[in-house]
Amino acid sequence: MFNALEVLQPTILEQSLSQLWDRISPLYSVDEEQWLAELLKLAEPTDAQLKASTDAATHLIDQVRADGESMSMIDSLLLEYSLDTKEGILLMCLAEALMRVPDKETADAFIKDRLSVADWASHANNSDSFFVNASTWGLLLTGKVVSMDETKDGKPANLVNRMVNRMSEPVIRKAMNQAMKIMGHQFVLGRSINEALSRGKSYRDKGYTYSFDMLGEAALTAQDADKYLTSYMQAIESVGQDTYSKGYRPTISIKLSALHPRYEVGCEERVMTELFESVKELINKARSLNVGITIDAEEADRLELSLHLFEKLFRDDCTKGWDLFGLVVQAYSKRCLPVLNWLAALAKDVGDRIPLRLVKGAYWDSEIKLCQQRGLSGYPVYTRKEATDVSYLACAQFLLSRHAREWIFPQFASHNAHTIATIATIAENLGATTNEYEFQRLHGMGDALYNRLIKDKDVCVRIYAPVGSHKDLLPYLVRRLLENGANSSFVHRLVDARCPVSELVDHPVTTLKSRKTLRNPFINLPKDMFKDRKNSFGPNIEIEAEWKPFKASVDAFMGQSTQWTAMPIVGGENVSTTDVHAVNSPYDHALVAGQVHWANKEIVHQAIEQADAAYPAWSQTPANDRAACLVRMAELMEENYAELVALCHREAGKTIQDCIDEVREAVDFCHYYAQQARQNFAAPKTFTDFLGNTQQVQMTGRGVFACISPWNFPLAIFTGQVAAALVAGNSVVCKAAEQTSLIAFRAVQMLHEAGIPKDVLHFLPGNGATVGAPMTEHKAIAGLAFTGSTGTAQLINRTLANRGVAPVPVIAETGGQNAMLIDSTSLPEQVVRDAVRSAFASAGQRCSALRVMFVQADIADRVIPMIAGAMKEQSVGLPYLHSTDVGPVIDEKAQKMLLDHIEVMKKEGRLIAQSALPEWAEKGTYVAPTAFEISSIDQLKDEKFGPIMHVVRYKAKDLDKVIDTINNSGFGLTMGVHSRNETTCAHIAQRARVGNLYINRDQVGAVVGVQPFGGQGLSGTGPKAGGPHYLPRFAKEQLV
């Protein structure tokens, strides 16, 4: 970690660009305490500076309050509907979705859902703003009518009330849509640039200028990217022709994710060519009209990629000597300061100045959540608001320093009076004149503050103004606003006369230093997310500092010189046989990963007998000791991460992120079952029996458990079953799928190394006939855990039942016919992203994968072409490449079954789209992601385990019939729901007979101990793997 104070020395820019670059990535998730301690040195004001900035901020706030200028627009809305109130959130939810709902029925139901739970009356007439009152009255009227409809127990109220409701629905809908239009009008400066220019004139008369943005959702298809490119071109054209002559010229801000459907690290090649060309086209146009361009900042994973692209553009002739090509950097990012250093050095190197907007950052919520989901090393953002403010001021110290401002034109975006006053103070201290920097604010926010500032100081203030149709922009803006709650709090307190000015002018350095810890103790690191167990770790492959060493470690196992040999392990001994099978890589059958010696009946029986003999001692081993072996196993898997990932690539054809998720799941199973065993198996539990006697019951093992696992999660499911059986006190004989025995062999070796006695756990590779049958015929088998097809489960169950011994537990996890239901309140971009991931990730070879998507007819013509467009962007390829989305299917048998189904569907359904295969695809077993439109789920007889999605249109009124047909399929594994209507979501959740239901997200990737996984009916027996009821099924309850 570098010394932050160093950036104040002009020598910082004498370092090589590569040296400065190398400082960026390692700070991605750097220890927050350490790094903030560095930044504090930079941001800490002297006593005199502190006094100056406090005085300036106090003065500014006093003046703003004295101005008595009524707040406009969004400020006042946020003041009345603060985002920490239920009404505030509900209003925003409505604004996010209502305008896109095309059908009356869904719109009415949605309005009712949102409005019936809030207290709108308390907001009536609280605000001076017409806009707020108009919304409130609309809401109040609606809320009252709606609340009359149902009594508390959900039963319909009397007829009169229902009549009122019915009569009013069109009126209410109209009022609400009107309210949303008013909101759209306030959030969005104009529906076109010309309208925006015209509406912005009054502000420009006051001295403001603009940066316009055609904001909206990210493009998921090439068509959408083209559409955005065209609208940016038109915007540049219009601004270029603008004849307003006073003050600073407006600029255009562009969002890269809108200009390319795959603006992501894995697609760097495409970004550096295709996206590069698109932006260059915009730059050429903009330069010819002298309209500046700023590239917006997006998610943390894209930061390094955005800088690569920026550098390429900045070094290109198209920007040489221009000085108006800039970008945005987020101060909440831990990498912000070194990024600024590198950019200043880049500008110096090229010889052109970079206009640079410093923002605090608007994706904070999702950054935090994503890191937790992915088990990353830490957070890329600060976990306290005041830490972001400190970072902001530290970065300002650098940006305003003489050596930096020679190469960077800083643009400070903030709505916080203290930040603004402090920036001005820092600028004065460092001798920066008011034409060497500018301020920026959002359209509709911070008016009162900046109106005062612009009167007092001769400084440029630029308004960042969204332009475009309200329907497209409002959802996006509202989401950003909701995520970036920091904006609302200051505004709220600024105008609240009860809030003493002194509270508003606390220096963030003072606030942060007053905390016990610099990092936020309420937001645990991803590894500490669970109270009673460790979370598994995953490297972030989007970040150079994590990706490069990870890739190098995996590459060490990827050469053909690395070969694995698996064979039966009985009593800890490797038993070679003559029945040897080569393991070919599914992506290229000419490549060999190793060899497997299959077991035979004799070896199987020998293993079972040893396991049977070892059972009593193992079941007597304290549960805490058994659990300790699992914890050690988890550690060993993380120590051998690279080898396991390479095995998943070479043996199972899994993509990089799938491999990481695979190891993580296996690790999580171990930690979770260990924790469950410590909690429930370590000591007897006391209960009162039905006769009123106090009893003690102890959970103990049952004997020899047989574990039979599939190839699609060759490490996770294998390890999960075995670990559960072992920790519950059983001895285990296990058979992995014949396609993926190499990784299972390594797992068993590691389990032995972790302390599982060698006579307790035995590994028996082979197929159903050589191993499965002799295993399940054996009378000593006391229980079975199986994951695989429904048919095989029935077969195995029959074999076990025919042994003439007492029934044993059969825990079967089988197939599914998984559906996703999408109504018209859902956001198409989110739906398409989640549907594509759910159906095609892992080449659709997940039990949970989406097979049938039900889309409400009213939006089908928008959603289906988007799916087709997004499928065109899917990259089918070598699984070990970062650019690959979809790898091969497991083997020829699977491939043939899927290709046959595609042929049948071509006749019986309508082909929506099929992704392209690489030219060399026949080297392996590839199946192109394919989607068909069909008329009913009944057209599908059984599960097709691969990348094939079916789409069915449904009418909103038929939702219950749809649920019935899904239930009637007999399967019940996963279901996805996309709807903003919580009543609809709850209704579906209640009626759908599925094991795992996912609302407003994808439907794959259940996390152990978070989303216990398993189905009902034909999809499995339960209990759920990774859930609290799993271990008891592997055990007996014995009175002690």
Partner 1 sequence: MTIVKPIQIEVANQVFEAWDHLGVAGRAECLEQAVFSLSHAQASMARWQIENAKHEIGEDLLMPGPTGESNTLSTHGRGAFLVAVQSSLSGDNLSVGLIGQVFAALIAGNPIITVGPEGQAIMDQMSKYVPEGIIQNVAESAQDSILDATDLAGVAIICDADRAKHLNKQLAQKSGLLCQLVEETNVQALTTIAAPHYILRFVTEQTVSNNTTAIGGNATLLELGSKAE
Residues carrying an active site annotation: 813, 847
705/880 with CB nearer partner 1: 705
380/410 with CB nearer partner 1: 380
895/1021 with CB nearer partner 1: 1021
Map the footprint of partner 1 across residues 70-89, applying CB under 8 A.
Answer: 83-84, 89
The stretch near partner 1 (CB under 8 A) out of 272-280, 477-485, 597-605, 847-855 is 477-485
Burial of 976 (0-12, 13-18, 19+ CB in 10 A): buried
Residue closest to 191 by CA, chosen among 497, 465, 499, 463: 465
Residue with tokens 């909440």: 332
Map the footprint of partner 1 across residues 379-398, applying CB under 8 A.
Answer: 383-385
Q: What DSSP state is assigned to residue 468?
A: S
81/587 with CB nearer partner 1: 81
Map the footprint of partner 1 across residues 848-877, applying CB under 8 A.
Answer: none
Residue closest to 527 by CA, chosen among 634, 450, 384: 634
When asked if residue 1040 is in the footprint of partner 1 (CB under 8 A), the reply is no
163/805 with CB nearer partner 1: 805
The site for partner 1, by CB under 8 A, has a size of: 94
Map the footprint of partner 1 across residues 815-854, applying CB under 8 A.
Answer: 827, 830
Binding residue (CB under 8 A) for partner 1 from 379, 711, 854, 1013: 1013
93/283 with CB nearer partner 1: 93
Rounded to the nearest whole angstrom, what is the least distance from the CB of residue 814 to partner 1 in the complex? 8
Which ranges of 457-600 does DSSP label H, i.e. alpha helix? 470-483, 486-495, 501-504, 508-514, 544-555
Binding residue (CB under 8 A) for partner 1 from 229, 329, 453, 486: 486
Q: Is the peptide bond before 568 cis (omega within 30 degrees of 0)?
A: no
Which ranges of 588-655 does DSSP label H, i.e. alpha helix? 601-620, 623-639, 641-652
Rounded to the nearest whole angstrom, what is the least distance from the CB of residue 928 to partner 1 in the complex? 29
Burial 155-182 (b: 16+ CB within 10 A, else e): eeeeeebeebbeebbeebbebbbebbeb
Residue closest to 877 by CA, chosen among 661, 655, 554: 655
364/450 with CB nearer partner 1: 364
Phi, psi of 775 (to 5 degrees): -70, -50
Binding residue (CB under 8 A) for partner 1 from 75, 80, 96, 274: 96
Q: Three-state DSSP class for 674?
A: helix
Using DSSP, how many helices (H) and how many strands (E) does the chain show?
40, 30
The stretch near partner 1 (CB under 8 A) out of 35-43, 57-65, 132-140, 1021-1029 is 1021-1029
Q: What DSSP state is assigned to residue 770?
A: I
Beta strands in 227-314 (DSSP E): 251-254, 293-295
Binding residue (CB under 8 A) for partner 1 from 797, 883, 939, 983: 797
Residue closest to 415 by CA, chosen among 928, 60, 888, 50: 60
The stretch near partner 1 (CB under 8 A) out of 492-500, 502-510, 804-812, 888-896 is 804-812
User: Would you give the distance in Å from CA 495 to the centre of its chain?
Assistant: 36
- β partners of residue 592: 584
296, 302, 306, 309 alpha-carbon torsion, rounded to 10°: -140
Rounded to the nearest whole angstrom, what is the least distance from the CB of residue 1019 to partner 1 in the complex? 9
384/462 with CB nearer partner 1: 384
Rounded to the nearest whole angstrom, what is the least distance from the CB of residue 776 to partner 1 in the complex? 11
When asked if residue 1039 is in the footprint of partner 1 (CB under 8 A), the reply is yes
Q: Where on the phi/psi map is residue 431: left (φ > 0), alpha (ψ -120 to 50), or beta?
A: left
- β partners of residue 732: 705, 761
559/692 with CB nearer partner 1: 692
Rounded to the nearest whole angstrom, what is the least distance from the CB of residue 999 to partner 1 in the complex? 4
Q: What is the CA radius of gyration of the chain?
A: 31
Map the footprint of partner 1 across residues 630-669, applying CB under 8 A.
Answer: none
Binding residue (CB under 8 A) for partner 1 from 141, 368, 628, 682: 368
When asked if residue 692 is in the footprint of partner 1 (CB under 8 A), the reply is yes
When asked if residue 798 is in the footprint of partner 1 (CB under 8 A), the reply is yes
Task: Copy the structure tokens of residue 951.
Answer: 């789409």
When asked if residue 990 is in the footprint of partner 1 (CB under 8 A), the reply is yes
Rounded to the nearest whole angstrom, what is the least distance from the CB of residue 290 to partner 1 in the complex? 36
Rounded to the nearest whole angstrom, what is the least distance from the CB of residue 1025 to partner 1 in the complex? 11
533/752 with CB nearer partner 1: 533
When asked if residue 1025 is in the footprint of partner 1 (CB under 8 A), the reply is no
For strands 580-585 and 573-574, give the pairing.
unpaired
Binding residue (CB under 8 A) for partner 1 from 93, 423, 465, 894: 93
Q: Three-state DSSP class for 935?
A: coil
Q: What DSSP state is assigned to residue 296?
A: P
Measured between alpha carbons, how far is residue 71 from residues 64, 124, 127 in Å?
A: 10, 17, 10
When asked if residue 1016 is in the footprint of partner 1 (CB under 8 A), the reply is yes
Site string for partner 1, 118-137 (x = CB under 8 A): --------------------
518/541 with CB nearer partner 1: 518
When asked if residue 784 is in the footprint of partner 1 (CB under 8 A), the reply is no
Rounded to the nearest whole angstrom, what is the least distance from the CB of residue 802 to partner 1 in the complex? 6
**3-state SS string for 175-209:** HHHHHHHHHHHHHCCECCHHHHHHHCHHHHHHCEE
Binding residue (CB under 8 A) for partner 1 from 95, 800, 864, 966: 800
User: Would you give the distance in Å from CA 341 to the centre of its chain?
Assistant: 30
In sequence order, the 6+-apart residues with CB closer than 8 A to the CB of 816 are 847, 848, 851, 943, 971, 972, 973, 974, 1015, 1019
Map the footprint of partner 1 across residues 100-119, applying CB under 8 A.
Answer: none
Map the footprint of partner 1 across residues 958-977, applying CB under 8 A.
Answer: 970
276/537 with CB nearer partner 1: 537
In sequence order, the 6+-apart residues with CB closer than 8 A to the CB of 357 are 294, 326, 327, 328, 329, 411, 412, 413, 440
**Residue 462: its H or E element:** strand 460-466
Rounded to the nearest whole angstrom, what is the least distance from the CB of residue 1029 to partner 1 in the complex? 6
When asked if residue 155 is in the footprint of partner 1 (CB under 8 A), the reply is no
53/974 with CB nearer partner 1: 974
The stretch near partner 1 (CB under 8 A) out of 156-164, 339-347, 916-924, 991-999 is 991-999
Which ranges of 354-500 does DSSP label H, i.e. alpha helix? 364-374, 385-399, 402-405, 417-429, 447-456, 470-483, 486-495
Map the footprint of partner 1 across residues 499-558, applying CB under 8 A.
Answer: 515-516, 520-523, 529-531
Rounded to the nearest whole angstrom, what is the least distance from the CB of residue 89 to partner 1 in the complex? 6
Measured between alpha carbons, how far is residue 577 from residues 562, 570, 592, 611, 651 in Å?
A: 21, 12, 19, 20, 21
Binding residue (CB under 8 A) for partner 1 from 74, 172, 179, 478: 478
The stretch near partner 1 (CB under 8 A) out of 70-78, 447-455, 728-736, 1030-1038 is 1030-1038
Rounded to the nearest whole angstrom, what is the least distance from the CB of residue 808 to partner 1 in the complex? 9
Rounded to the nearest whole angstrom, what is the least distance from the CB of residue 973 to partner 1 in the complex? 11
Between CA 665 and CA 660 the distance in angstroms is 9
Binding residue (CB under 8 A) for partner 1 from 405, 479, 632, 950: 479
